[in-house]
Amino acid sequence: AASAAAAAPSRGFELTEDGAYESWEWRGHRVNYARLDGRRGNGGGKPPVVLVHGFGGAVGHFRDNIGAIAATGRDVYAVDLLGLGRSEKPRVQYEIELWGEQISDFVSEVVDADRAIVCGNSLGSLSTLCAAAERPEVFSGVVLFNCAGGLNNKAVLNRQGESGERDLRLTLVAPIFLLLDALLKLRPFARYIFEKVRTAESVAGALGAVYVNTSRADEELVRIITRCAEDEGALDAFVSILTGPPGPTPQACVAKMPEELPLLVLYGRSDTITPPDGPVGQFFATLPARRPAATYTTVDANHCPFDDAPEETNAKLLEWLDALE
């Protein structure tokens, strides 16, 4: 705690003990978000920036990005997706499309500007793409800190080979997903798994496996994540996300977005969840050749480049933002 407190002033953004910041009511549910005004007064006319976390993440995951972006004169918002972070966790079916609607409504209802640049990570990236595909008029740009291929592992069933036919191997694993869904819907089994994965030890181990700079997967970050899993409804949200429909693919969302909408794909070169040489990674790596408004760049990081390598990520993000203005 002492080290976190010492680091806070240089960040320009203060983490709260419980991860809660401001509240916005969306469709009858409480959504947690943080705001930091640009240092030059009301953003200096620059488009505001909205940050959206991934699975298991929260506002605090952007601990070393919010202040750095705001210091350049941009108003910065970070929002917790419904069912995750410190937002309310109602018993609903969580879907990429639902979060996409939340992001669009957040920009239009909470962010005090006509449009915003929205930056997502993992599930937050895919949800942002979905939002930009459906309501591009509220976006002035999209940034992806890596991107999930779907809501959960069932997304692999959407993959097709070059011939357009689904790989036979994917057909063979489909029953496994059905079995896992059935098991997770048995509450005692689901609770057993949930209690195992939400411990500080489990979270620390998982983070260590998806960070290049393992010193960044520290006690502060572990607490940010485990605190959210203590909320009422966290178990039901966990099950809903893992057993829900995989949702749209990144490829389908990008195809629906206006070609002129600026898109920055900032990818961790060592991503083990959506590897750069996998279908999703290769789609984005080759995207600028087909889409002039798209930019692809990499940093020395794994699946969460914004926190794994914050200085390099912030520098590349700010360079891209400056070029837009």
Percent helix, percent strand, percent coil in the chain, to nearest 5 = 50, 15, 40
d(CA 56, CA 204): 12
Task: Please report, for residues 47, 94, 96, 230, the alpha-carbon distance to residue 84 in angstroms, rounded to integers and kept in the order given.
Answer: 26, 10, 13, 11
Task: Please report, for residues 103, 152, 156, 244, 248, the alpha-carbon distance to residue 131 in angstroms, rounded to integers and kept in the order given.
Answer: 7, 18, 22, 19, 11
Contact 266, 305 (CB under 8 A): yes
Q: Quick one: DSSP state of residue 46?
A: P
CATH class given for the domain over 2-324 = alpha beta
Contact 107, 99 (CB under 8 A): no
At 49, is the secondary structure helix, strand, or coil?
A: strand
- Beta-carbon contacts of 294 under 8 Å, excluding residues fewer than 6 positions away, are 262, 263, 264, 265, 287, 288
Strands 294-299 vs 76-79: parallel, antiparallel or unpaired: unpaired
pLDDT of res. 152 = 57
CB atoms within 10 A of CB 160: 12
Taking phi over 0 as left and psi of -120 to 50 as alpha, with beta for the rest, 271 belongs to beta
pLDDT tens over the chain, length 325 residues: 333 333 333 588 999 999 999 999 999 999 999 999 986 555 467 899 999 999 999 999 999 999 999 999 999 999 999 999 999 999 999 999 999 999 999 999 999 788 999 999 999 999 999 999 999 999 999 999 999 988 855 445 555 443 344 444 445 555 555 556 666 666 777 787 888 888 999 999 999 999 999 999 999 999 999 999 999 999 999 889 888 888 999 999 999 999 999 999 999 999 999 999 999 999 999 999 999 999 999 999 999 999 999 999 999 999 999 999 7
Domain ranges of the chain: 2-324
- Beta-carbon contacts of 283 under 8 Å, excluding residues fewer than 6 positions away, are 250, 251, 254
DSSP string for residues in 104-140: HHHHHHTSSSS-EEEEEETHHHHHHHHHHHH-GGGEE
Phi, psi (degrees; rounded to nearest 5) at 20 = -95, 145
